[in-house]
Every structure is written in structure tokens, then in C-alpha cells.
Amino acid sequence: MKKSLIALAVLAAAGAASAQSSVTLYGVVDASIGNIKDTLSATGAKITDRQNTVDSSGMRNSRWGIKGSEDLGNGLKANFVLEQGISMDTGAVAKTSGSTDGFNREANVGVSGSFGAVKLGRVYSAYDDLRALTNNTADHNFAATRDVWGTSGKGDYAIRFNNAIRFDSAVYNGFSGAVAYGLGENKNAADNLNQDATDNIALHVKYVNGPLAVGYAHQTEEQLAGAASTKFNLIGASYDFGVAKLTGSYNKVKGAITGAAVDDTEYQVGVSAPVGPVVLFAGYAHAKSEGAGANGESNGYDLLAVYSLSKRTDLYTGYKSVTDKKVDGSKEGEKKQFAVGVRHAF
């Protein structure tokens, strides 16, 4: 009888321990078939003819990851995330800014509690949080914002920081904030392409309550010696009326990107509306560059329809058109993309 009681106690302790920690395998697989024409100068080698494609990440970036947490007691938890991008059309690791292999989307460990959360490793920029929250077309890959804002200024912000520490506050009556700091640990680098040659900092403060979300975000990317740092300042908001949701943001970029001086003014707006099992999206983005490295003006719009087959599987069709103009108003290039695809989350 005594041995049985001891065995039951051991099993109970093991069960309690397993209940206090968890590891989850998760991911998104997204593939589409479509047609694309891309002659934007920012893409490098120009494609002069339309191409039919089977592509990855038409609506959402394909990825897989492992995340876990352990209850440390007294309201504290230890957490980790390891996440890698996938190219569904080839099976290869999908490249991301600053990393081409391994867990290139996220790789961090930290602790959380009533104060908020702290992470160490490769993390998302805190500026990116507000950018995604208020971007048109629910920040899907069909949103023209990154194409338009990135083209006008010859580049865009760093989505992730390497060698970083990030703090996210708890939510207080709808208010919250975050700050991320990436240490430059490669001071002898010839360039800062992977954002690891110099220090970078990003922060946001936001208010989210019911249908309203509004906030401010800032990011500074220090450049190599002799070049000005690049500063991004964003104000964004969204409001869900039930029958439709409106989003919009205004962004100002000053400094230097890839060695070219920029002074960009950017904005974007969007609307989405549920119609039965289908959600319809439409968005518009604009950017004008007035710095010494300016290449004029960019405009783009996007349309997307998403049909939910289940809570985890969607069918979608989308269209995106972006036009880039030189300072004199002549066309620099354009991008037109149409695709039909399927997205599954696990």
C-alpha cells in the first residue's frame, strides 16, 4: 500500500511538472499560382515579360517554428521561440532581411510576468508591430505598402534586429509599449546591409481598446561612419465599425539608406469588410521622396478576397499594382501581380 502511494505521488508530481511547461510546433504553409510583371528599379534585374509562377507566401509568409514556456512560479514564465521561413515552391529556406538560413525569422529566449516580457536574440523591431497593426489589407503580402514605401526611399526599415534585447510592457487600461535594441557586433563590416554593423533602436506606444487602435512608433538605424543615421516616425490607427474596418498610417523617413540621402513622406489607407465567409480588402499607398537620393514618387493599390474553408484554411485571390516615377515624372517601373492560392495554419 505504501509503495502504491509513493508511485501515485511520483506520477502526480510528473503530471504537475508537465502541466507547468509546454512546447508547441506551429506554422503556416501558403502557396499560390499567378502572373507577375516587375520592372521596378528597386528589384535589381528587370523582368520585361510577364511570367506565370507557382510561388510561396502569396498572402502570408510560409514558416514553421517551435515555441515553449515554463512556469517558474510567482507569476514568472521562461519563454523561447525558434522560427524559420519556408519557400513552398522549392522547399528551400526562405530568405529574410539579415539572415538566409537557420531560424531566420525569430530566435530568442526570455522571461515574462506581470511586468511584461523580456527577450534576447533575434527579435522583431518594435516599430514593425505598429506598422503591421495599422497596415492596409490586414498586413497581408498583397498590401502594396512595403513595395511603395520601400521603392521611393531606395529601401525600407529593418523588420528584425540581430543581437538584440526587447522589452514589451504589460497592458494598462489599453495602453502598452515596447522597445527593441540591436547591438552592432560587426563594426568592421564594409556595409550595414544586414543591420549588424551598427546599433539600431525601435519603440512604439499604442492604445488598443475595443474597435479602436492608435499609436506612434519610431526606429533609428545607425549607419557606418560618415553616413547619417536613418530615422522612421510612424503614426497609425484603425477602427472596426463591424460592417467594415478602416486602417491608415503616416510615415516620415529622413537620413540615408544604402548611402543615398532620403527625405520621404509616406501614407497608406485601407478598408476591409466581411461578407459571409469572405473578407474583402482594398488598400492604397503613396510615397514621395525629396532627398538628394530621391527617385520621385511611388503609388500602389491592392485588392484581396479571402474565403475561409475552416478556422485554419483559407482560399484567396489578390491583385497588386505599383508604379514608380522619376523626379521628372516619367515612369521608372511598375509591378503588377495577380495570384490565387491557399493558406493553411497548423
pLDDT tens column, 267-289: 999 999 999 999 999 999 999 98
Cβ count near 61 (within 10 Å): 16
Mean predicted confidence (pLDDT) in 225-247: 90
Among the listed residues 255, 36, 268, the one whose alpha carbon sits nearest the alpha carbon of residue 158 = 255
- Listed in sequence order, the residues at least 6 apart from 177 whose beta carbon sits closer than 8 Å to its beta carbon are 168, 169, 203, 204, 205, 206
Residue 17 confidence (pLDDT): 47
Inform me whether the pLDDT recorded for 165 exceeds 70.
yes
Among the listed residues 127, 84, 82, 85, the one whose alpha carbon sits nearest the alpha carbon of residue 108 = 82
Q: For residue 132, give the H/E element and its range.
A: helix 126-133
* CA separation for the pair 47, 105 (Å, rounded): 28
> How many Å from the N-terminal Cα to the C-terminal Cα in the chain?
45
Among the listed residues 171, 253, 161, 255, the one whose alpha carbon sits nearest the alpha carbon of residue 213 = 171
β-bridge mates for residue 250, sequence order: 235, 267
Measure Cα distances from 116 to 51, 166, 210 in Å.
Answer: 47, 11, 21
Q: Which residue has the cell 527625405?
A: 263
Q: If pLDDT is split at 50, 70 and 90, which confidence band does 255 have?
A: confident
Q: For residue 19, give the H/E element and its range.
A: helix 2-19
Mean pLDDT of the chain: 87
* CA separation for the pair 234, 128 (Å, rounded): 10
Residue 295 confidence (pLDDT): 63
- 4-41 pLDDT per residue, tens: 544 444 444 444 444 578 999 999 999 999 999 887 65
- Listed in sequence order, the residues at least 6 apart from 250 whose beta carbon sits closer than 8 Å to its beta carbon are 234, 235, 236, 266, 267
pTM exceeding 0.85: yes
Residue 85 confidence (pLDDT): 96
Mean predicted confidence (pLDDT) in 155-167: 90
Full DSSP string of 58-105: SSS--EEEEEEEEEEETTEEEEEEEEEEB-TTT-SBPPBTTBSSSS-S
Burial (CB count within 10 angstroms: exposed 0-12, middle 13-18, buried 19+), residue 14: exposed
Among the listed residues 198, 125, 205, the one whose alpha carbon sits nearest the alpha carbon of residue 158 = 125
Q: If pLDDT is split at 50, 70 and 90, which confidence band does 258 have?
A: low
- Listed in sequence order, the residues at least 6 apart from 21 whose beta carbon sits closer than 8 Å to its beta carbon are 68, 69, 70, 71
For residue 83 the three cell numbers come to 522560427
CB 137 within 8 A of CB 272: yes
- 186-207 pLDDT per residue, tens: 666 655 555 555 789 999 999 9
CB 185 within 8 A of CB 195: no
* CA separation for the pair 202, 180 (Å, rounded): 5
Residue 188 confidence (pLDDT): 63
Mean predicted confidence (pLDDT) in 316-330: 88
Domains of the chain and any CATH numbers: 24-345 (2.40.160.10)
- 114-159 pLDDT per residue, tens: 999 999 999 999 999 999 999 999 999 999 999 999 864 456 888 9
Inform me whether the pLDDT recorded for 259 exceeds 80.
no
Residue 112 confidence (pLDDT): 98
Mean predicted confidence (pLDDT) in 299-307: 97
CB 218 within 8 A of CB 231: yes
Mean predicted confidence (pLDDT) in 316-331: 87
For residue 5 the three cell numbers come to 502511494
